Amino acid sequence: MKVVITGSSGLVGTALTNLLVRDGHTVVRLLRSGSGSKTGSGESRGETPEKADARSAQPRDIGNIVKVAWNPNTCDLEGEPFGEDQGEIEGADAVVNLAGASIAAEGWSEERKAILRSSRLHITRELVCALEKLAEPPKALVSASAIGYYGNRGDEVLTEESKAGDDFLARLAQEWEAEAVKAEALGLRVVRLRFGIILSKHGGALPQMMRPFKFGIGGRIGSGRQWMSWITLLDVVSVIRAVLENTAVSGAVNVVAPQPVRNADFAQALGRAMHRPAIMPAPAFALKFALGEMADALLLASQRVTPLRLEQLGYRFAQRDLNAALASVLAEP
């Protein structure tokens, strides 16, 4: 396969690139040209492609990796600075859109919210625009979204058919997906991946969750009764490969493990995996005071999400049990 990836230097993008290249596929890294923008492909700091390259842990053998520059402000694919052109994207099997600034990196000021929106909606809109200019566009668009789509839903079991929520993250996910769906008008198969909490030792939410446990002050958040829908990075990239290969898949797909857990149980499992106590709860009022709206949406919201579509497709999870998953993740070099 030839797969075009935006956000290729992020946590998921790097792992997916490594997997595809290892398996003999060609990866086209669509990298933002220019500098100074805060809405670049998959980065929250507005890095140039050269800086993102230096920072990311891409495979050393770059024989199956092609770099193509694009300007997301004009939706133009450019030949500079890498000397490639849009011909590298013509006829590709798929585009995987992983662009988006980090939700949890900073507090949600109005300026930060604008960045979160632009790095998803604007980038996806301009990506579809760029694909429209191709004589032979890719056959599929696999675009990131998140289970924040569902909002805070208590104990309700959520599938891909469940209605959307109405908080900031829910509205953001709905609008993000709506931009991706526009590619269907170009004849592309569109898959919307609603990612849960991705467990990785080297990025995402887990290192931040581990920090208080390292000092012996870890524990549940708030009441601890809120549901957490998780998945390992290993399964995330395997799911993406599966939907790339299965041309019958389209629409929304919940990318979560089959066994969501309550926050208190997650804290206990993480404490066991780290050989640390999990006895110091973080009071909800303190989190709300410190983080405001972000605390409600990211730490206190309950989302009991199931991977119905993946199970219907017969996907076999590498990690279904949280205790085994955390042990495996923390054992990574």
Query: Tell me: the pLDDT tens digits for 210-259?
Result: 999 999 999 999 999 999 999 999 999 999 999 999 999 999 999 999 99
- How many CB atoms neighbour CB 298 within 10 A? 18
pLDDT for the residue 78: 59
60 compared with 188, residue with greater pLDDT: 188
- C-beta separation of 11 from 232 below 8 A: no
Q: Which long-range contacts (CB under 8 A, 24 or more apart) does 202-209 make?
A: 202/11, 202/332, 203/10, 203/11, 204/11, 204/233, 205/104, 206/329, 208/104, 209/270
Instruction: Out of 79-88, 181-190, 211-220, give the one with best mean pLDDT.
Output: 181-190
Structure tokens at 212: 């208080």
Kindly state the percentage of the chain with pLDDT values over 90.
72
Tell me the pLDDT band of 32, cut-offs 50, 70 and 90: confident
How far is residue 218's CA from residue 216's CA, in Å, rounded to a whole number?
6
Distance (Å) of CA 252 to CA 90, 134, 159, 203: 25, 25, 10, 25
| In the predicted structure, residue 56 carries a pLDDT above the cut 80 | no
How far is residue 170's CA from residue 155's CA, in Å, rounded to a whole number?
17
DSSP assignment, residue 120? I
Backbone angles phi, psi at 258, to 5 degrees: -75, -10
Question: 168-181 vs 110-117: helix axis angle to the nearest 10?
Answer: 20
> Helix (H, G, I), strand (E, B), or coil: what is residue 220?
coil
Taking the CA atoms of 166, 5, 115 and 291 in sequence, report the sign of the dihedral they define.
positive
Mean pLDDT of 31-47: 45
pLDDT for the residue 61: 44
pLDDT in tens, 287-301: 887 778 878 888 899
pLDDT for the residue 34: 53
pLDDT for the residue 199: 96
pLDDT for the residue 297: 82
Whose tokens are 């526009």? That residue is 182
- How many CB atoms neighbour CB 249 within 10 A? 17
pLDDT for the residue 215: 92
| In the predicted structure, residue 53 carries a pLDDT above the cut 60 | no
66 compared with 105, residue with greater pLDDT: 66
How far is residue 116's CA from residue 314's CA, in Å, rounded to a whole number?
34
Distance (Å) of CA 283 to CA 222, 263, 272, 291: 5, 13, 21, 12
pLDDT for the residue 74: 79
Kindly state the percentage of the chain with pLDDT values over 70.
88
pLDDT for the residue 85: 56
Structure tokens at 131: 């694909």
pLDDT in tens, 59-74: 444 558 999 888 888 7
Tell me the pLDDT band of 52, cut-offs 50, 70 and 90: very low
Structure tokens at 260: 């969501």
Q: In this structure, are strands 65-71 and 26-32 parallel, antiparallel, or unpaired?
A: parallel
pTM of the model: 0.89
3-state helix, strand, coil in the chain (%, to 5): 40, 20, 40
Beta-carbon contacts of residue 146 (< 8 Å; ≥ 6 apart)? 103, 169, 173, 194, 195, 196
182 compared with 31, residue with greater pLDDT: 182
> Helix (H, G, I), strand (E, B), or coil: what is residue 199?
strand
CATH of 2-198+231-256+306-317, one of 3.40.50.720, 3.40.228.10, 2.60.40.10, 3.40.50.2300: 3.40.50.720
| In the predicted structure, residue 38 carries a pLDDT above the cut 50 | no
**What is the rounded average pLDDT for all residues in the chain?**
88
| In the predicted structure, residue 154 carries a pLDDT above the cut 50 | yes
Tell me the pLDDT band of 317, cut-offs 50, 70 and 90: very high
Mean pLDDT of 14-30: 95
- C-beta separation of 330 from 202 below 8 A: no
How far is residue 74's CA from residue 1's CA, in Å, rounded to a whole number?
28
| In the predicted structure, residue 165 carries a pLDDT above the cut 60 | yes
